[in-house]
Amino acid sequence: MDWRVECAAVIPCLNEAAAIGSVVEAVRAHAPVVLVVDDGSADRTAPCAEQAGAIVLRHQGNQGKGAALQTGWRWARERGFKWALTLDGDGQHSPEDIPSLFSCADRTSATLVVGNRMADANRMPWLRRWVNRWMSRRLSKLAGRYLPDSQCGFRLMNLACWSALPVSASRFEIESEVLLAFTQSGLVVEFVPIRVIYKGEQSKIQPLRDTVRWLRWWKRARRKRHE
């Protein structure tokens, strides 16, 4: 697979002016086409991304991470890209790990490759680590297979497979919904170890609100599973 031709990087952003330029520059060494979806930022995220060489699409208001990702995925598929590489714009994911995702897809024929931080989970903030494990256990049970890091947004995804699945989440539950849709459809999903990077950046996740939203999503998914 010629990843530099077949894959576009999609980075959803909300107020990431401080980091997005360096992230885009590093990603372009592996995936020259980088699309930043600015989800209603109030800072200079969009111009900083453009100056670093990214294509930028802007939501006029904040629609959510899931909505930003789906905007980016549609854009990539409409322009003939077969794969989308997704990562966060705050520098939490290392572009140096991108070749590992590409290599895994080449080696295993996976349609979805997900970064796995849990081998070095002690470097994660304790609340994120606990919530990730708690959600991953529940999602693993629903999927019928072990999903070590269900909440990681550093992924490589086949766009034709995604477009055929019922994925509609607009907020942070997007990672869970995509993962469950792929596994329940019998598609090959693999996990690869990635670096754990936390530098004190403020998470865009609202712990109470987003956990309640995720639980509502999970209950609906579980109900559909048993219908």
Give which of 48, 12, 3 is closest to 156, Cα–Cα: 3
Instruction: Look over the chain and give the mean of its residue pLDDT values, rounded to a whole number.
Output: 91
| Residue-level pLDDT at 11 | 98
Asked if the model's pLDDT at residue 226 lies above 70, the reply is no
- What confidence tens digit (pLDDT) does each residue in 178-188 have? 999 999 999 99
- pLDDT at position 205 is 57
Report d(CA 73, CA 41) in Å as an integer: 19
For the stretch 41-99, pLDDT in tens is 999 999 999 999 999 999 999 999 999 999 999 999 999 999 999 999 999 999 999 99
Q: How high is the pLDDT of residue 203?
A: 54
Residues 3-226: name the CATH superfamily: Spore Coat Polysaccharide Biosynthesis Protein SpsA; Chain A (3.90.550.10)
Taking alpha carbons only, the member of 170, 161, 137 closest to residue 151 is: 137
Q: Return the pLDDT at 178.
A: 97
- What is the tens place of the pLDDT at every residue in 7-27? 999 999 999 999 999 999 999
202, pLDDT greater than 70? no
**Alpha helices in the chain, H assignment, sequence order:** 3-6, 20-27, 45-51, 65-78, 98-108, 126-143, 159-163, 174-184, 207-226
What residue type is assigned to position 145 of the chain? R
30: pLDDT strictly greater than 70: yes
Q: Is the pLDDT of residue 204 over 70?
A: no
Which value, to the nearest 10 degrees, does the dihedral of the CA atoms of residues 179, 180, 183, 188 take? -10
Q: Where are the domains of the chain?
A: 3-226
**3-state secondary structure at position 63:** coil
**Whether 198 contacts 124, CB under 8 Å:** yes
pLDDT in tens, 113-141: 999 998 776 677 767 788 888 889 999 99
Please report, as a single letter, which amino acid is at residue 117. R
